[in-house]
Amino acid sequence: MGVTPDLPDLYLMRHGQTRWNAEGRLQGRLDSPLTPLGLAQARRQAWLLRDLPDGLARYASPAGRAQQTARIAFGGAGFACDERLHEIDIGSFAGRLGAALQAEHPALFGQGGALDWYDHAPGGEHFAGLRARVRAFLRDLSGPAVIVTHGITLRMLRAEAMGLPPERLAEMPVLQGAVHLVSRGRHRMFF
């Protein structure tokens, strides 16, 4: 698996902290509003983006938390909503407390890497589905882009842009309030 040489620069952001993030509740395709900290993180992202050149394409996941973050981070500039940027579907685990799920399913959460359970969530999309839609999104890009998405989706975008397999997702830190730049197969984070 190699880096796509003609892939444009990607400025990737995770949405700000939500009420469910603070509670340890898994969102997947469900949604909860940004907390005061999440609003501050989105303002921080706006500050980090202030010197980007004009004309960059702007995209966001259709989830309310990503839309709320994008409106703040993009400073009122327009952006496209793209369904392919939605968070991985975690099926029946959505809306549940992570700690409760770990107690109920110790084998699922105890095997493999820290994020492997996403690939086994009952009724979920799994990594293959996420990877297919992320690849389709990246193929459609015609130039550099600024993107507001979610933790696992952001990792998969990075993995694809850097030519890494999904098994490496857990190695990729993702911070709320930061901007992750992937350029020519390399990653830098600004926060």
Residues annotated as catalytic are 15, 87
CA dist 29 → 86, 143, 176 (Å)? 7, 28, 18
Degrees to nearest 5, angle at CA 82 with 101 and 45: 75
Degrees to nearest 5, angle at CA 57 with 53 and 58: 105
> What is the residue-wise DSSP string for 57-71?
EEEE-SSHHHHHHHH
